[in-house]
Each structure stands twice: as structure tokens, then as C-alpha cells.
Amino acid sequence: MCGIVGYIGHRDAYPVILKGLQRLEYRGYDSAGIALYDGLEIKLSKTKGKVADLELKFSQQIEPKGSLGIGHTRWATHGIPNDTNSHPHFSNSGDLVIIHNGIIENYEALKQELIKRGYHFSSDTDTEVLINLIEDIQKNNGLKLGKAVQVALNQVIGAYAIAVFDIKKPNEIVAARLGSPLAIGVGEGEFFIASDASPFLEYTNNAVYLEDEEMAIISLHNPLNIRKIKDDRLVSPYVQELKINLEQIEKGGYDHFMLKEIFEQPHAIKDTYRGRLLTDEGIIKMAGIEDHMAKFLNANRIIIVACGTSWHAGLVAEYIIEELVRVPVEVEYASEFRYRNPVIDNSDVVIAISQSGETADTLAAIKLAKEKGAFVFGVCNVVGSSISRETDAGAYTHAGPEIGVASTKAFTTQITVLTLIALRLAKAKGTISNTDFRAHLVELEMIPKKVEEVLKSETLTKEIAAIYKDVSNFLYLGRGFNFPVALEGALKLKEISYIHAEGYPAAEMKHGPIALIDENMPIAVIATKYGHYEKVVSNIQEIKSRKGKIIAVVTKGDTQVKGIADHVIEIPETIELLSPLLTTIPLQLLSYHIAVMLDKNVDQPRNLAKSVTVE
Ligand code: M6R
């Protein structure tokens, strides 16, 4: 889960790579480094810390010259974050230099072999093993860099996106991928290599995404040469025109990406249903579903696999799909599913949910489900991502780039897509009446306006944040469709503020968590006016009689909870199954403001990365 950037062309490579690394910092930020070739030698600087620390180090040590270079921002897997373990890494001769995102699983065995042959290692990384393996192969067989990389990668078990260059042939970068993303930006007389397209958007809109087990020899003097790593088969490069622009990946006046993305939700939800939700015609149109309708309608059950926030969206979908489509739904952590020999066959439909489309566990779960014969449908945000390519069919969320490590708009847009799917299937299956179907379409179309209204509670959530920012624990309670929202609220708080938080179904409180409640415990309760309202009110009473502090998310006009809770945040009335799209917003704002008040790094919380491409 690191970010990699490379450049070869006519510009100064340093500013291109540095800015690129800043954009990729969401992928990892415990150390960073850049290697530049200035026509004479490789200039390397690397450091523990952020890209800003690297920039400072460069300015103090090195004149950043050269139009060939590679850079890396790291999320440590092998070896602690320190200067030595940071990338790029040199081979023993000093001729080859590499950046790597991923894990070489058999690195220890390879390392021992190389040590026997006289190689030495200064870092604890698997990457330094790989670059020396390439060097060993190159030297012993007199091979060109591309061929040596290919032979080495055929000996490697694991995942990688790499970029390598050889000081002896400074017109070329060799890149390859297996399990970690890699995009090549194709400009006029220049190429960019990056984990996603954001580092090169201001230079070119043309990109080639490498597929798994492909490598590219990127040369200034030859056309882009892409081949299969295993059998050396040539692949003709598919150059895509990118539709995202620079503005979409910048902060646009907000202090943090997370806040920008919270406020983008009305727009993002609209983008998700645009062209799919046709209220006037009374239909939902989703190509990925229409083309595979029989698969869905004949499915004995639907299994949802995902991780983190996407798993929470899956839980919301379980409630929605079972309610509307009357088909059993199971929601699984992809990381568990992939290793537990699940009972699954070709009568199952698997829905894989992932913002990044690169999460290693979700990808592995998809592969397993496919092996067992299931039809796999993806719900992804990142267009062209590994998951979107690995699945049999799918639907994009169209939320636009999400940079903040804490997912916000990804969650609401995933729920939007999954609601559209549920409604479409219910219509096809006849499990929803025409009147209800239309009512849901109309209401879903109004959600962005209602989200806008909820966003107005920001000042109130800020005031509440100021009161509770110093607590050590938080509880989140919800029921039914809003139980997963409680889980999501707790996840948001812990990941960016480092306050311990737990989400629970409200009625489970009496089976344990109630023991935690005293005057120091704030409890966020989703107490909107639906089926379980009276029961949730009783839970609130139980908390109050134990002196807990209640922050309640209620339906506009509520008076009962208002009379008991310490704080209430109102959301507009909507259909119950759509309510998670509204109730989640104040919880996002609350965790955001608590983290800001605690002076935490909201967009890049410690130990986390946006896209978890390792197990
Ligand atoms: O890209 P994905 O949706 O597959 O990512 C899954 C999780 O890693 C992700 O949701 C993570 O839990 C977020 N940091 C939550 O805010």
C-alpha cells in the first residue's frame, strides 16, 4: 500500500515526482524517497516521515536535477519505517534502482540464496532482495534490464507494482504489476508511471493501465512495449482517455479532503443515480444488472464481500435487499471469506464492494468466489481498478476521487448504488408494488437536497465535538437499517481521532455494553422515527438513568427524544430504508471535528492507508 511515481522525458523529473508523491500520500505516509538520474549519477534522498520531510531533506542536501527519476511514499510492511528501509533501493553494484508497492512473500528464501552468492543487504525490506535478484540475473546471463526483470518476477511469489531503471541505460524505465495498481501516463515525448493517474493529470489525459502479470518497457526511443510476464506475449497498449480533472483531486478551499468529501455528498449521490434513476419514466436503468438479470433473479442468495466502511455499506444493503427483494443476503468480511472455504456455488451471486477497487482481501475473495462458480458483481468507485476488471459485471459509484483516508462519500454512494440495484431487482421480481416503487424513486431523487439540509448541522456538531473531544470512549447505537450506521460512526471516530469507540445494535446494549455507561460515557444514538423508535427511546431512558450522555440523531420535529437527550441533531423525514444516507452525515461531521480539535492528521491518520493492497 505504497505510492509509486516515475518520470522519463524532457522535464525536470523532481517537481513532477514530488507533487505526484504528495497526491499519492493517501496510500502510505511513513517514509518517502526519490532517486534522480542527472546524466552522470543517481542522486538519492529518502527519509522516514512524510513527503514534506523529504522535500526539506532534498533542499538541504541535493540539487534535484535530471529528467529521469522514481519516487515512493511508503506504508511499511517489511521493516520498520526508517531512512534505510525507505525506497528507492539500490542493487549492490549501485547500477539498478527500484521502487515497489506490494509484498514479496518468498523474499527470505531468495535473500538467503543471494547472501550465499555474496550479496549484502542494508535494509530489512523485501524490495532490496528483489532488486538484487534482478541484478544477479542480469549479470549472470548478460540480459537487458527488461528481460532480467521478467526472469526475476517469474521467481517471485507475492504482489508488486514496481518501477526500475538502470544507470547504464538511462533512457528506459521498466515497470510491472501483479496485484498492485500501476498506470502509465503517455505524454508527448514523455512517460509517467504511478499508482494511480493523479500524479500526471496536469500533463496528460492518456493513460495505459497495466493488467496483472504485465510488464512495460518504457523507453524514450521506442514505442511502449507491454508484455506478459509469464510467457513473454506482446500486448498492444490500450490507451484510455481519462475523464477526471485536477480540480477533483484538490482540496477546493476546504481544510481537509475529508471535509470536502463530506460536503460533496449531495453532488456525489446525484452523480451515482444520474442516468440510472429515471423518475419521470418510473424506471431504474443499470446496464450491469439488465445484462445479467437472470443471474440475479435465479440466485438462491446474495453474498456481499467487502472490508471496513464498504463492509458497513454491505450491511446496510443486506437490510435493504432482504426487505425489497426477499432473497437471503449474507455479508462477509472479505478477509474471513477468502480463508474459510465457504460453501458457495453457481447459484450464488456475490457482490464485492470497494471504493478503491484495489483492496487485496476483497480481490482474493472475488477470485475464490469465481473459482467456485459464483457470478461476481462489483460495486467500485475507481474506474478501471483491479476489482472492476476482475468481476463479471458491475456498477461504478461515480463518487469522484476520494482522497481522505476515512471514507465518507464512498459509503453513501455505495448505499445509493446498492439501493438502486435492490429496487431494480424488486421491480423485476414483483416484490414491490408499483406505487411503492415510484415512491422510492421520488424519495431517492430528493436525498441530495436532504443531505444538504443535514450538512447545515455542522455548527451544532462542532459544538458537540468541543464538549466531548477529550473523552476516552464513545458508544454508537442504532437499530435496523441504522445499526450499520452506528458501526460506521464508531469506525470514523476511532480511525481519525484515536478515541476508542464501539458501535452496537441498540437492543444489544443490555447484554454487555451497558456496564460501561457512567457520567463520562457519550453515546451517539440514531433514534429516527421508524419501526423501532419506541424501543430506542427506552434504550435512551436506560442510558439516562445511568447518567450516560446522549447525542441523538432524530427525525425533524421529534419531541420525545428531545426531552431526554443531552443533544439532538435533526434529519429530514424520509423512507426508512433511505435514512442511513442522512443519519450517517452528522456522525461523519462529529468525528471530523473531534479529530480536528485534537489536532490529529485527519486525512492521513496514523498507521492507515487509503488503499489496502496487502493482506
Ligand atoms: O477501498 P475499499 O472500499 O475496499 O477499502 C476498504 C477499507 O479499507 C476502507 O473502507 C477503510 O475501512 C476506510 N479507512 C474506512 O474509512
Mean pLDDT over each residue of the chain, to the nearest integer: 93
How many alpha carbons fall within 13 Å on the CB side of residue 272?
32
Model pTM?
0.80
Ligand 1: centre distance to CA 74 (Å): 18
In 3-state terms, what secondary structure has residue 159?
strand
| 407, pLDDT greater than 80 | yes
Q: How far is CA 428 from CA 13, 49, 287, 390, 414, in A?
A: 55, 54, 14, 26, 21
Q: Write the residue with the smallest CA distance to atom 9 of ligand 1.
A: 308
> Residue 60's pLDDT band (boundaries 50, 70, 90)?
confident
Contact present, 548 and 522 (Cβ < 8 Å) = yes
Instruction: Look up residue 163 and give its three cell numbers.
Output: 518501477
Render the burial of 407-446: b for 16+ CB within 10 Å, e for the rest. bbbbbbbbbbbbbbbbbbbbbbeebbeeeebeebbebbbe
Cis peptide before 88 (omega within 30 of 0): yes
Ligand 1: centre distance to CA 46 (Å): 28
Residue 219 identity? S
Instruction: Look up residue 476 and give its three cell numbers.
Output: 454508537
> Residue 80's pLDDT band (boundaries 50, 70, 90)?
confident
List all residues 6 or more positions away from 20 whose beta carbon is below 8 Å from its beta carbon: 3, 5, 7, 71, 192, 194, 198, 199, 200
Q: Which of 401, 463, 411 is nearest to 597 (CA)?
A: 463
Give 552-588 pLDDT, tens digit per residue: 999 999 999 999 999 999 999 999 999 999 999 999 9
Ligand 1: centre distance to CA 613 (Å): 11
Q: How far is CA 92 from the centre of its chain?
A: 35
Contact present, 441 and 277 (Cβ < 8 Å) = yes
Sheet containing 549-555, strands listed edge to edge, beginning at the edge strand earlier in sequence: 500-505, 473-478, 522-527, 549-555, 567-571
- CATH classification number, 456-600, choose in 3.30.450.20, 3.30.360.10, 3.30.460.10, 3.40.50.10490: 3.40.50.10490
- Residue list, ligand 1 pocket, CB within 6 Å: 307-310, 354-356, 359, 362, 405-407, 491, 495, 608, 611-612
| 613, pLDDT greater than 80 | no
- Classify domain 254-453 by CATH number: 3.40.50.10490
Look at strands 31-37 and 206-209 and give their pairing.
Answer: unpaired
| 386, pLDDT greater than 80 | yes
Mapping DSSP onto H, E and C, the string for 314-345 reads HHHHHHHHHHHHCCCEEEEEHHHHCCCCCCCC
CA distance 475 to 508: 12
Q: Which atom of ligand 1 is the closest one to the Cα of 608?
A: 14
**Range with lowest mean pLDDT among 89-93, 116-120, 299-303, 602-606:** 602-606
Q: Which of 124, 125, 123 is nearest to 102 (CA)?
A: 125
What's the pLDDT at 81? 84
Give 295-321 pLDDT, tens digit per residue: 999 999 999 999 999 999 999 999 999
What's the pLDDT at 524? 97
Domains 3-248 and 456-600 share a fold: no
Give 409-448 pLDDT, tens digit per residue: 999 999 999 999 999 999 999 999 999 999 999 999 999 9
38: phi then psi, degrees, rounded to nearest 5: -100, 15
Instruction: Look up residue 526 and give its three cell numbers.
Output: 440514531
Domain boundaries along the sequence of the chain: 3-248, 254-453, 456-600
Give the CATH H-level superfamily of domain 3-248. Answer: Aminohydrolase, N-terminal nucleophile (Ntn) domain (3.60.20.10)
| 108, pLDDT greater than 90 | yes
Residue 52 identity? A
In 3-state terms, what secondary structure has residue 306?
strand
Give the best-scoring range by mean pLDDT among 137-141, 383-387, 505-509.
137-141
* Among 304, 338, 356, residue to substitute to test ligand 1 (most atoms within 8 Å of Cβ): 356
Q: What proportion of the chain, given as a percentage, has pLDDT over 70? A: 100
Q: Which of 317, 299, 327, 304 is nearest to 426 (CA)?
A: 327
Give 131-190 pLDDT, tens digit per residue: 999 999 999 999 999 999 999 999 999 889 999 999 999 999 999 999 888 999 999 999
* Among 408, 612, 614, 615, residue to substitute to test ligand 1 (most atoms within 8 Å of Cβ): 612
Q: Which atom of ligand 1 is the closest one to the Cα of 406?
A: 16
| 245, pLDDT greater than 80 | no
Kindly list the catalytic residues. Answer: 2, 610
Ligand 1: centre distance to CA 311 (Å): 8
What's the pLDDT at 62? 76
* Among 180, 305, 310, residue to substitute to test ligand 1 (most atoms within 8 Å of Cβ): 310
Ligand 1: centre distance to CA 610 (Å): 7
